Structure 1
Amino acid sequence: MNNRKFIYFVLIALLAMGIILGVIILALRNNQEMKINFLDVGQGDAILIENGHNQVLIDSGRNGRVVLEKLGRAMPFWDRKIEALIITHPDADHYGGSNEILDFYKIENVIKTDATNESGEWLNLVNKIRDKKINEITATWQTEIVFPAGARLKFVYPWNNSLGTSIDRNDSSIVTKLIFGENEFLFTGDLSKEGENLLVESNIDIDADFLKIGHHGSKSSTTSDFLDKVTPQDAIISVGKNSYGHPHKEVLDNLKNRTIRIWRTDQDGNIIYKCKNINQMCQVSR
């Protein structure tokens, strides 16, 4: 009799847990919230965009173990799928964690330019993408990712593959603009002054509320003209301990002189913007 009661108790407990878990999953799947996670991966970039139950990852930092730990905390524990991995350019502090990510998560699409790197690490990554038969998309101007929950990620640079194969890999960086209602984010990879000037002189709309500062705050990026065209209210610098002097005082002064609020991953850790729905302005979640 006692054994039968115990079995009944276990079955009821399992049923209750299943119902609770189902309700949680359903609520999250119906969630229209958008989150932009600037992950603290040290001296590198890794930005996870979540809208509803879809994710796009822009770059993967330098260290696979570190970026996997950050993703594990940012994403629901049962979700092992990332709809798209964007590799802005083939510098190790932007793609270095990708090998481990491809092993742990199901990546549906990899988006990159034709820019290349002769290092063994980069070539191994390119081969792994092909071995896993992951859909590869060449980033081109006006490519757009549309999230089912309403966000849009537009590719605004480079305009063609001749830029993508530039000698300066930084200026081959993919630049994207995320739009969610009235919220606009601009992600710039390691784009330098030369690439910024091309955007400034173009008719492309790069106005944004939130700007990911190029090249970790190097003085080779973030010109006054570029800031004046973007007109951000917030600037996010993805940076870690380094010997390059990032972020440079000139960049910080340029931002402060325009009363732009500055966030830094080396000081603030993960920087997470939350937008409750398409009608709400995004706010930093502390």
Structure 2
Amino acid sequence: MPVKVVFLNVGQGDCTLMTFYEPGAAKAHAAVLLDCGSKPGGEVAPRESAGASATGDAKRRMTEHVKREIDKCLMDLKNPGVLDYLIISHPDEDHFNLLEEIFLDSEHQLRYSVKNVWHSMSSVDYKEERSEVRFVETLLDDPNSLASPDHSVESDPVLKPTQGDPEMLFPNLPGTPNLYHLNAGGALPSSRDSATRAKYVHSAKEKIANLNSLVFLVAGAPDGNGQRQKVLLMADALKVNEECLIKNDSNGLLKREKNLWLKVGHHGSKTSTCKAWLDYVTPDGLFVSTGKVIFAGKSATCTDSNFNAELLKNWEDVRTRHNIPEPKVTSQKKPLKRHWDYTYQNNTAALSGFVNRDATGKGVFSTFGGERFATGKATTEWTGRDWILWIDRTSDGSYKPGAYEISYQ
């Protein structure tokens, strides 16, 4: 059965929506939402061509668009309004602070039912300082208090460790595309004690959270040669997590068989996506969720030095040595222009340092994509896009293990 993976534009943050379809079915039978958050100040408006509103500030237009896309997906399931898994990879606000607005109605009750909630670290680590309703803390500690007459959390939320054997999320569907929770081992316990801080003096709280990121893999159905297509979803996992994943991959689950798509860790930061990791998984394309925010270190994540000069340079070397072809990009509605772009920052703290890079043929798919001229104004506005990846489906919508389709809106 095909799987649709949508990397939703949330600016400087993360939000991935996955739906699983039976062959030929118009409606999906299962849906998973992995993270939904955006760094305050890092919101990036979607383009009007994606159906987004042209009015309001960037945050409002972005949030309305994300909410509409998730609504549309969940209401079009075979079991409408029921999410199989809500997964919060780790307690960084740019991975969870939009959930309240997406999931709660005006009465602070659930707008959907959720079968399972998975999270890393404890509920006290999820501090939503800018919200009167601490949605995630309440969701994890007292989900029944959020229930509406029609919707509830069906099972108690589960604190997932980062260690252990790969776990299949849909065990009743063997032999079909599935989602696996991976062993990213070696992560730190949920702790804020002085000893832990002393070991990680640079951004200690964030680094502990990132090390505890839950990492997942979508594995497609075997093709005629028994090879599966894969998608790796790295959240904010760091290089040490990547090293643990390689060490713990005794059965080769993470290795490229047919095609492999990598959602790079930590928004393209220099803290993730080491050369050994790229060489091990040998991806066909890189998906990057990032935005325009400047961090305390006076730098964005996708800078010229860490993204272009290191990550992409290493990846080009890997692609050449492993003879990995350029990905083919199509569109569901019309032929997609061969020119899309990704945005990175020059090595400066100034917002004006952001520039576009033509990524034709590079296989870089960034949610932070370019500038749109603001009509009637002397300024331009940064805009983002949603990337849509189908695996085990051809461009005409037919089910075919090993096929893929990439488009954006």
Which stretches in structure 1 are left out of the alignment for 5+ residues? 1-31
**Which of 207-216 and 111-120 deviates more?**
111-120
Q: Could you list the per-position Cα deviations for residues 243-278 of structure 1 after superposition, in whole angstroms to 9, with x for gaps in the alignment?
A: 232223322332334346211111271111113236
Q: Could you list the per-position Cα deviations for residues 39-95 of structure 1 after superposition, in whole angstroms to 9, with x for gaps in the alignment?
A: 111111111110022100111122754531332355555732211011110101101
Distance 1:158 1:256 in 2: 25
Distance 1:273 1:93 in 2: 22
Counterpart of 1:112?
119
Q: Could you list the per-position Cα deviations for residues 141-181 of structure 1 after superposition, in whole angstroms to 9, with x for gaps in the alignment?
A: 33321175932111113448x63526511010001111111
The counterpart of 2:312, out of the listed 252, 258, 263, is: 252
Distance 1:95 1:194 in 2: 23
Distance 2:101 2:116 in 1: 16
The reply on whether 1:202 has 2:277 as its aligned counterpart is no
Counterpart of 1:6?
none
Distance 2:289 2:17 in 1: 13
Kept after mapping to 2: 8 A contact 1:65/1:100: no
Q: Could you list the per-position Cα deviations for residues 172-217 of structure 1 after superposition, in whole angstroms to 9, with x for gaps in the alignment?
A: 0001111111111111110111222222333343224011000000
In structure 2, the CA distance between the partners of 1:44 and 1:196, relative to structure 1 (3 Å rule), is same
Residue 235 of structure 1 aligns to a residue whose secondary structure is: strand
**Alpha-carbon distance, 1:226 to partner:** 0.8
The counterpart of 2:169, out of the listed 145, 170, 190, is: 145
Which stretches in structure 2 are left out of the alignment for 5+ residues? 22-27, 39-58, 105-110, 145-152, 192-204, 222-227, 320-361, 370-383, 394-398
**Alpha-carbon distance, 1:230 to partner:** 1.1
Residue 254 of structure 1 aligns to a residue whose secondary structure is: helix
Residue 207 of structure 1 aligns to a residue whose secondary structure is: coil
In structure 2, the CA distance between the partners of 1:164 and 1:151, relative to structure 1 (3 Å rule), is farther
Distance 1:278 1:96 in 2: 37
The counterpart of 2:390, out of the listed 262, 270, 274, is: 274
Q: Which amino acid aligns with 1:67?
A: V
**Alpha-carbon distance, 1:238 to partner:** 0.8
**Which of 244-253 and 115-124 deviates more?**
115-124
Kept after mapping to 2: 8 A contact 1:60/1:94: yes
Give runs of aligned pairs for residues 12-161 of structure 1, distance below 5 A: 32-52=1-21, 53=28, 54-62=30-38, 65-77=64-76, 79-103=80-104, 104-115=111-122, 117=125, 119-121=127-129, 124-133=135-144, 134=153, 135=155, 136-140=157-161, 141=164, 142-146=166-170, 148=173, 150-159=176-185
**Which of 173-182 and 268-277 deviates more?**
268-277
Distance 2:291 2:261 in 1: 20
Kept after mapping to 1: 8 A contact 2:4/2:388: yes
The counterpart of 1:165, out of the listed 190, 194, 202, is: 190
Q: TM-score, normalised by structure 1?
A: 0.78
Kept after mapping to 1: 8 A contact 2:87/2:119: yes
In structure 2, the CA distance between the partners of 1:118 and 1:85, relative to structure 1 (3 Å rule), is closer
Q: What's the C-alpha RMSD, in Å, of the aligned pairs?
A: 2.6
Kept after mapping to 2: 8 A contact 1:171/1:195: yes
Q: Which amino acid aligns with 1:266?
A: F
Residue 101 of structure 2 aligns to a residue whose secondary structure is: helix
The reply on whether 1:180 has 2:224 as its aligned counterpart is no
Distance 2:69 2:101 in 1: 13
Kept after mapping to 1: 8 A contact 2:91/2:126: no
Count of residues in Structure 1 that have an aligned counterpart in Structure 2: 254
Distance 2:65 2:212 in 1: 26
Residue 13 of structure 2 aligns to a residue whose secondary structure is: coil
Kept after mapping to 2: 8 A contact 1:164/1:173: no
Distance 1:180 1:125 in 2: 31
Kept after mapping to 2: 8 A contact 1:139/1:155: no
**Alpha-carbon distance, 1:282 to partner:** 1.9
Residue 59 of structure 1 aligns to a residue whose secondary structure is: strand
In structure 2, the CA distance between the partners of 1:255 and 1:65, relative to structure 1 (3 Å rule), is same
Kept after mapping to 2: 8 A contact 1:207/1:231: yes
The counterpart of 1:220, out of the listed 234, 254, 271, is: 271
Aligned sequence identity (%) = 25
Distance 2:241 2:2 in 1: 32
Distance 2:114 2:266 in 1: 26
**Alpha-carbon distance, 1:130 to partner:** 3.9
Residue 9 of structure 2 aligns to a residue whose secondary structure is: coil
**Alpha-carbon distance, 1:132 to partner:** 3.0
Distance 2:242 2:216 in 1: 13
In structure 2, the CA distance between the partners of 1:129 and 1:117, relative to structure 1 (3 Å rule), is closer
Q: TM-score, normalised by structure 2?
A: 0.56
